[in-house]
Amino acid sequence: MAMQTKSGQSGAGDATKHWWTLRLTAVALVPLAVWFVASLVALAGADYPTMIAWVSNPFVTVLLLSMLVSLFYHLRLGLQEIVEDYVHARRAKIVLSVALTFGCFLLAMATIAAVLKIAIGS
Amino acid sequence: MSMDENNRPLSPHLQIYRWQLHMVMSILHRATGVALGLGTIFLTWWLMALAAGPSAYETFTTVASSMVGQIILFGFSYGLFYHLLNGIRHLYWDAGQGFEPATVRLTGQLIMVISFAATVGTWLAAYYLLGTL
Ligand code: HEM
């Protein structure tokens, strides 16, 4: 029974889940982002074969995919929060939310497909 | 006379300063979140180029290692460190901790310093490993 508020936001249950998932992805991103930055520093100046070998390492593949899922999920929820703060016209809010969701989804799929292609193809 | 001057109320100043730091940091969390969101386009290009092959990857590295590319990447790295550290502070607040004004000020100042130091340290380490430093 999804409740609709006057402004077209979803009901209290969804808001709680949204709040919680934004924080859950934030917690996941702390170690993943630190690992990612440290890896890039260690890879500074690496050539193409080295980068491919790095992404193909099973541990790296799993961590990269985990980071990408958390990151785009977190981004989508964060942007949603900003839209809800600043955009009050109902139609504009819905159009913008849908566009941002599609954008995040598309980038998530592109990065995940790229990592999988490298990991499986080499 | 000098006693009087020492005892002049400072609180309005301190309150304005504290409020400003807090305001700036709150806006910066949102701004870095949006900036990092735009940065994911760069991240996507990097991974897609890597998957596409050596020549596509070379186009990416040419741009990324150019002066403009390095400045943009420096900006993203600062945004990430700031957002990450302030994000931890947000989570700490969500757990109902660290609300005392003195603690808020201290953690805020620590984040301003550490995020900058971590960014510079990261880039120094990268350039050192590259052998260009
Ligand atoms: C690296 C670890 C990260 C942590 C610990 C973290 C933490 C957080 C937290 C706690 C919030 C909620 C703030 C609030 O209550 O207003 C938040 C918001 C947000 N985050 Fe992150 N985040 C991280 C990474 C990222 C990344 C990589 C992106 C972008 C790709 C991002 C984009 C956003 C956006 C757009 C918001 C909404 C800002 C707002 O509502 O003002 N975050 N983040």
Kindly determine whether residue B91 and residue A33, on different chains, have CB atoms separated by under 8 Å: no
ipTM score for this prediction: 0.90
Q: Say if residues B98 and B106 touch (Cβ distance below 8 Å).
A: no
Whole-angstrom distance, CA of residue B133 vs CA of residue B130: 8
Average pLDDT rounded to a whole number, residues B8-13 = 56
Q: What pLDDT is stored for residue B17 in this prediction?
A: 57
Q: What pLDDT is stored for residue A11 in this prediction?
A: 61
What pLDDT, in 10s, does the model give residues B56-72?
A: 999 999 999 999 999 99
Q: What pLDDT is stored for residue B13 in this prediction?
A: 55
Q: Say if residues A73 and A17 touch (Cβ distance below 8 Å).
A: no
Chain B residues bordering chain A (beta-carbon distance below 8 Å): 30, 33-34, 36-37, 40-41, 43-44, 47-48, 50-51, 54, 57-58, 77, 80, 84, 87-88, 90-91, 94, 122, 125-127, 129-131
Q: Distance, in angstroms, between A120 CA and closest chain B CA?
A: 11
- Counting residues of chain A whose pLDDT is more than 70, the rounded percentage is 89
Residues of B in contact with A75 (CB under 8 A): 33, 36-37, 40
> What is the value of pTM for the model shown?
0.89
Q: Say if residues A65 and A86 touch (Cβ distance below 8 Å).
A: no
Domains and CATH numbers, chain A: 11-120 (1.20.1300.10)
What pLDDT, in 10s, does the model give residues B88-99?
A: 999 999 999 999
Domains and CATH numbers, chain B: 21-130 (1.20.1300.10)
Q: What pLDDT is stored for residue A47 in this prediction?
A: 96
